[in-house]
A = this chain, B = another copy of it.
Amino acid sequence: MDHYKVCVTQSLSHHIELNEEDVRLLAELEEGPTNVKKHTDLWEAGKPAEKLYTLRSGWAFAFHCTEDGQQQILDIYVPGDLLGIRDVTFEHHYTSARMLTDGVICPFPTERLHHIFGRSPKLAMGLHAAAAWQQMVIMDRLVNVLSHNAKARIAHFTLEIYYRLKRIGADVENGYSLPITQKQISMLLGISEVHLSRSISELEEMNLLRKTRKKLQVLDIDRLSELARFTPERFNDELNPLLQVW
């Protein structure tokens, strides 16, 4: 059986080793791949949390709507990410989520999660580890915003995406595509659109990176890492060996 025909296996294989039986169980539970268009809503804040999704290809983002109609970007998803693990243990969605590009998703109905927990402790642990990994990324982003100025925040963001894409085997050496607007980046980083534009220009003049409308290239990873105090070891997501007992 081709493991990667089951979408969620890609996400979980970062954390646990899957055997044939695990893959069979997941295949039973997961719904087939679905094509989704750019701007498709995956879920909406306040609605029941009925599914989680594997993002097989394409980008997506999570957001809040503020009362004045603006949307506050909260999170960004790249191919291979597991979407909605946070929301799915609550009765209602905490965020809304929408596709940034065309893509392929594999839905996984919430109520089938208890089959995972009931029939395969290892898979349950893998899911839990994936959630913990996501929490670490968010924590890392919080630290970034709490302690860095605009240029360092941009450097950190650049490297976070760089390593997340590298983790799923993408070619990032010659720049990676970044299908979000500067307005959206500015919200992720807590700075204004205008100041973001200026700060990116400064980083380009320093020869640290180069950004075009839809692409971002890392030019000097060492100086970027120093500026953002970014250590990629955090992204190593080996499961604690104390938990690997099966």
Nearest chain B residue, comparing its CB with the CB of A118: B121
Residues of B within 8 A of A64 (CB): 143
Contact between B239 and A66, CB atoms less than 8 A apart:
no
In the bound complex, residues from chain B placing their C-beta under 8 Å from that of A139 are 74-75, 86, 94-95, 138
What's the minimum C-beta distance from A131 to chain B, rounded to whole angstroms? 6
Q: Are A90 and B132 in contact (CB under 8 A)?
A: yes
When each residue 137-179 of chain A gets 1 if its CB lies under 8 Å from chain B and 0 otherwise, what string results?
0110111011100000000000000000000000000000000
Shortest beta-carbon distance, A239 to chain B, in Å? Answer: 6
A168 to B234, CA, bound (A): 32
A50 to B122, CA, bound (A): 19
> How many A residues are at the interface, by size bracket?
35 or more
* Cα-based distance from A74 to B75 in the complex (angstroms): 19
The minimal Cβ–Cβ distance linking A228 to chain B, given in whole angstroms, is: 13
Nearest to A190 among chain B residues (CB) is B146
Contact of A136 among B86, B190, B237, B239 (CB under 8 A): B86
From residue A197, how far is it (CB to closest CB) to chain B in Å? Answer: 18
CA distance A124 to B188 in the complex (A): 32
CB neighbours of A75 from chain B (8 A): 139
**Would A240 and B147 count as touching, CB distance under 8 A?**
no
Whether A111 pairs with B237 at a CB distance below 8 angstroms is: no
A71-107 toward B: CB 8 Å interface, digit per residue (1/0)?
A: 0101100000000011011110011000000000000
Copies in the complex: 2
Q: Does A225 contact B (CB under 8 A)?
A: no
Q: Is the CB of A138 within 8 A of B142?
A: yes
CB of A82, distance to nearest CB on chain B (Å): 13
In the complex with contacts A94-B136, A94-B234, A240-B89 CB distance below 8 A: yes
From known contacts A121-B114, A121-B124, infer whether A89 and B243 are also in contact, taking CB-CB under 8 Å: yes
Also in contact, A243 and B121, with CB within 8 A (given A127-B128, A131-B128): no
With A and B bound together, what is the CA distance between A146 and B133 in angstroms? 21
Q: Are A89 and B239 in contact (CB under 8 A)?
A: yes
For the complex with contacts A91-B239, A128-B128, 4 further pairs of A-B residues with Cβ separation under 8 Å are A66-B147, A89-B129, A131-B131, A146-B188
A-B CB proximity, top 5 nearest: A117-B121, A146-B190, A89-B129, A89-B132, A110-B242
